[in-house]
Amino acid sequence: MNLDLSSQLARYGSQLREDREQLELEDVIWRGDRPTVGPRGRSGPGGPWARPWVIGAVAFLAVVLGGSIQILLSDRGGSPEDTVPPADLGVFEPMRGRVVYVVDGALYAIDPADPRIGFTMEVPPAADGDIGADAGEAVPVGWSHDGTLLALEDEFNGESYLMNSSGGVMRVPWETIEVPRGCCMFAGPNWLSPDGTSAVSAAEFELRILDLLSLVAGPSIELADSELRDVQGGQPYMATWSPDGSQVAFVVDRVDGELLVPIIQLWDIENGIIRHLVADGFGHIRNMAWSPDGLELLVIAGDYQFPTVLPLSNPLATPVETDIYLVPIEGSGTRSISNGYFVAAAWSPDGSQIAGVEYGSGYHEVSVMNADGSDERRITDVQPGPSGAFTGVSWHPVR
């Protein structure tokens, strides 16, 4: 089915209810079963950038397959405050409200309340090739807010993937907006927008958004600080969305003598303003995750500091002691809630708990704690696969 993207977006974006019966869903191609169409809703005015949460938005996720563009159509509505789950979570139904991680190419989902109860499924290959080919393996970094799209990232080569509720997988074509990806060790935070329509990346002194509806560049902003341009490796990195999709938190390095000091900044997408969230205080930052209410940013950081001339090998490829910090989005009061060898973490859907991955000397494990760091307990002890990869964790957002 050859579709002109601009005409289809114009047609279906404004007349979803009237034209929905005419959609030829049997012609939609994404490896896996046909996509499930969820509850209907009205599309919001102004497109996906006028308001981050578009009620009843039509998400056209383009898949580059054999030189042609195929379209996945999914009508997913709602907002972060909605309590009604999607009509069908598909292959993700057994993961509802559970902690999810990957080992040896398999997705594991565990109920923290009873870790003996688990679910396992193989991660299918992407539409354009195997996930993790000639490298490590893809690990989960986050979900769309309705729990129907899972963001995965190969922590060795930087390739990003989306898995939908039918079990289909696509590679995110960062090259269409000229974003270099790849290398080295450990997946970053969730790059998928809450409504599942966009992806964000920080590279080449710019924050860039890939509009997955049309596979064209969305908003971007350039960092003009000349001090940053003079530093090898001092580019922005680790970009991740706020729960309402209105802001992006990211990290950029400041020169302090012969060392780099990471600074957390916030980009307000609508007005283009960038402001400091944390000016100093961390040696290095390993991962970040927004709280579901958008009031705090979980930051995994340690004392090690990178020199301005970066080492040839990644010193963080071996266990390094880190803390889990909670950083208020407004005001002050950054605090450490746990110490260990954490490399990734995720919030529970209600924000009351945190799941963290520890990569210690000779062990990998997932632990769960209350949001204040109390009652920390291990829920699984995992032997990593041949690649040694095991640094991603996510918590399915639908209870």
Question: Alpha helices, DSSP H only, in the chain?
Answer: 5-14, 16-19, 226-229
DSSP state of 331: S
Whole-number Cα distances in Å, 383 to 66, 299, 366, 386:
37, 25, 11, 10
pLDDT at 65: 30
List the pLDDT tens digit at each of the 399 positions of the chain. 333 333 333 333 333 333 333 333 222 223 233 233 223 222 222 223 332 322 233 333 333 333 222 333 233 334 444 445 555 899 999 999 999 998 877 889 999 999 888 899 988 888 777 776 554 578 899 999 999 999 998 877 778 999 999 999 999 998 888 877 656 667 889 999 999 999 999 877 788 999 998 888 988 888 765 445 455 445 678 899 999 999 999 998 888 889 988 989 999 999 988 888 986 789 999 999 999 999 999 999 999 998 988 788 778 888 899 999 999 999 788 999 999 999 999 999 999 999 999 988 777 889 999 999 999 999 987 766 555 666 789 999 998
| Contact residues for 78 (Cβ-Cβ < 8 A; gap 6+) | 39, 41, 53, 55, 84, 86, 145, 146
Residue extents of the structural domains in the chain:
5-76, 90-395
Number of H helices, E strands in the chain: 3, 25
Confidence (pLDDT) at 123: 85
What's the distance, CA 283 to chain centroid? 23
- Distance between CA atoms of residues 258 and 358, nearest Å: 29
- Under a CB-based contact definition with an 8 Å cutoff, are residues 384 and 101 in contact? no
Partnered with residue 288 across adjacent β-strands are: 299
Q: Which fold has domain 90-395?
A: Neuraminidase (2.120.10)
